[in-house]
Amino acid sequence: MSYETLVYQKTGAVGMITINRPAADNAINIRLAAELSDVCTQINHEEETKAVIIAGAGDKAFSVGADMNEFSATVGNKQEIRLLSVAAPVAGLRSPVIAAINGDALGLGLELALACDLRVAAETAHFALAHVASGLIPWDGGTQRLPRLVGRGKAMEMLLTGELVDAAEACRIGLVGKVVGREDLIPLAMDMAQAMASKASLALMYAKEAIHDGLDLTLEQGLRLEADLYFLLQTTEDRTEGIRSFLGKRPPGFKGK
């Protein structure tokens, strides 16, 4: 399926979503949000897609946030505001998701990146949730995901001051995991995605579930969730294949079953 505001391509078991509005600095409009939701639903039905990369087109921006031409018209309507949401469909992807942040990730663009499982950035990228300057607060998960990632203190600093953080500082505080030159960004993200895609997809999915769901539980409840998922994996064909391939000293042939 072709899209107007994004490009979806597959390389083996890796799917790559490119936000494709470079003339608008990849600002998120209602059409893009709808197409992103659609492609995420499609990916969740693709058994062969085991890892996903999200990037922005061009050299300047990953996404500078909501398209203000549409946002200003919907700011008073809760139902229409939801039409601009991009974090939920990305967070709902069962496969691991890497944000390859090729440029500035601001506002809703940063909230999109926060919904991904891993983030790598070009050294020229900048990050901010500067909603307070417009009399607003983040509304697509920023106030919740950012402190879980960088800690309460740094999240408060970024949210209450609207501070613009460069890539080096973003890496230092744990907002992104790696920073590289722009020309190395997509190859790095692809190497990471292909490494994950070579693993058992059910194990990847359950590891992701254990971490995300466990953060909302007590330690005792999280440990029970981990144990339950571990024992579920013991019943899978992939677990048997993993043992056989190890004993046979050969690469595993995982089937996601």
pLDDT in tens, 54-109: 999 998 999 999 988 776 555 555 666 677 789 999 999 999 999 999 999 999 99
Give this prediction's pTM: 0.90
CA nearest to 53, candidates 109, 2, 9, 4: 9
Q: Which amino acid is at 6?
A: L
Q: What is the pLDDT of residues 136-187, one digit of tens each?
A: 899 999 999 999 999 999 999 999 999 999 999 999 999 999 999 999 999 9
- 6-197 has CATH 3.90.226.10 classification: yes
Rounded Cα gap, residues 176 and 149, in angstroms? 9
- 174 φψ region: left (φ > 0), alpha (ψ -120 to 50), beta (else): left
Q: Which residues of 166-186 are buried (b: 16+ CB within 10 A; e: fewer)?
A: ebebbbebebbeebbeeeebb
Whether 63 and 56 have beta carbons less than 8 Å apart is answered as: yes
Q: How far is CA 146 from CA 153, 155, 243, 244, 253, in A?
A: 10, 6, 38, 41, 37
* Nearest of 244, 242, 117, 119 to residue 179 by alpha carbon: 119
Report domain extents, the chain. Answer: 6-197, 201-247
pLDDT tens-digit map of 189-216: 999 999 999 888 888 888 999 998 998 8
Neighbour-count burial of 45, counting CB atoms closer than 10 A to its CB (0-12 exposed, 13-18 middle, 19+ buried):
exposed
pLDDT digits (tens, 9 = 90+) for 95-140: 999 999 999 999 999 999 999 999 999 999 999 999 999 888 999 9
Tell the burial category of 19 from Cβ atoms under 10 Å away from its Cβ (0-12, 13-18, 19+).
buried
The radius of gyration of the chain from alpha carbons, rounded to an integer in Å, stands at: 19
CATH class of 201-247: mainly alpha
Contact (Cβ atoms closer than 8 angstroms) between residue 242 and residue 200? yes
